[in-house]
Amino acid sequence: MSSPPSGGPYPHAPAPAGERAAAVDPPTRATGTRTIPGPRVRRAGPLLSWHPYVRAEDLLRRARALRYPALSSALAAFALAGCGVLILRLVHRQTGTTGLLVGLGLALLPLPFVLGALAWLNQTARVPLRHTLFCLAWGACAATTVAILANGWAGDFLIARQGSARGETLLADFATPLIEESAKVAALLMLLLPVRRRLRCHVERTCAVLARRASLPGRRQQQPLRRVRSYRPPEFRPRLRPLPYFRRTPRVRSHTRARSSPRTLSAGVVLGGVTACGFAFTENALYLGRAFTDDQQSRLDSIGLGAAPSLRDFDSTVHTFVLRGLLSPFAHPLFTALAGLGVAISLTTGRRWLARLAAPTGLVLSMAVHGGWNAAAGLGTNGFLLFYAVLMVPCFAALVCFAFWARTRARAFRHRPVSA
């Protein structure tokens, strides 16, 4: 049986004119011969982008080239949820079910006011909602879990070495601020954790282009090159994640250094304050639930002794709520805002020495103010009120003034002319 004239799926269909001419007189084959079609090669589709013989280095290279923001977000949410379950278990162990519910309800009352003030400041910082939610969850779940466990271990160690009274004093004044502030500031470091290479600054690129053009033959040396400064950022900056609200502001003039804009400073305050809000919420729930449980037990004891129940049986709960919910709802946000401000300055300033010292200085200041706050609680009512009036009120007033300054200066900073 003779074979069809062509190897296509429709052998009797007429071929186009060009193909008909090529079939009549092929340029490379003898007259009377035909081309035998070979096996069809199937290429891998999008569902199978690799084959079993790909080298391991190629697979690793492709894995490094891909980025999975949804996967990383899911892993972070899963880890924070695990920390939340653990912290609920730890708080429930110390307060009981009724104390836990009462503590959560009372700790929730001052939270909207603090978050509302930070949301008002965030209109200048423009921090994304996902970052603020991450910081809030980190402070409420991860930072409190680390603080409770680390404070317990540090308290056992100091009491065993220094005795009961001195160990508790060292724990409250030195160890607790160090542990808690470090755990809260870790939220900002987690946001900067994905290692990505930053683009060179605009000034450095401009200097490189001008120097290259000046070195070409036939061109005269340009005198204004001596006035342009090339800025070399510190070593840690190019290895951090380039967040949009922590970008350096372009210079106003060619002979000046870049400064931290109101947006970057406000972003540091907002991130630190939101993290501290979550931490303060869980801590208030623990202390209020523990106070309510103690008052409830005292009330049951007084009823067993024949005394009539009264509202004075819950004096400890009322005192704790007034102290932590009414007098000092901004205490923890104020502490961590100092550290966040230092981180923002370190990431955006144009001075190398300030970039190296701002973040450690802000962290040390937050620990010092936190330690002074804890120490003032042991000075009695008069000593605590004196410390509150001398240090906490001016610091809070300075933070409010900074918020208003940032809001008023943000518009002027956006429309400020940038030098070439």
Task: Write out pLDDT tens, residues 1-34.
Answer: 544 554 444 445 455 554 444 444 445 455 555 5
- Contact partners, residue 184, CB within 8 Å, separation at least 6: 138, 139, 143, 272, 275, 276, 279, 332, 336, 339
pLDDT at 44: 47
Task: Write out pLDDT tens, residues 129-168.
Answer: 999 999 999 999 999 999 999 999 999 999 999 888 899 9
Distance CA 359, CA 189 (A): 11
Residue type, 383: G
Asked if pLDDT for residue 202 goes beyond 60, the answer is: no
Identify the band that residue 53 occupies on the pLDDT scale cut at 50, 70 and 90: very low
- What is the average per-residue pLDDT within 278-287? 95
Task: Write out pLDDT tens, residues 331-385.
Answer: 999 999 999 999 999 988 878 888 889 999 999 999 999 999 999 888 877 888 8
Asked if pLDDT for residue 84 goes beyond 70, the answer is: yes
Torsion of CA 420, 248, 360, 332, to 10 degrees: 140
Mean pLDDT of the chain: 77
Most confident of 57-66, 251-260, 279-288, 340-349: 279-288
- Contact partners, residue 144, CB within 8 Å, separation at least 6: 87, 183, 278, 279, 282, 283
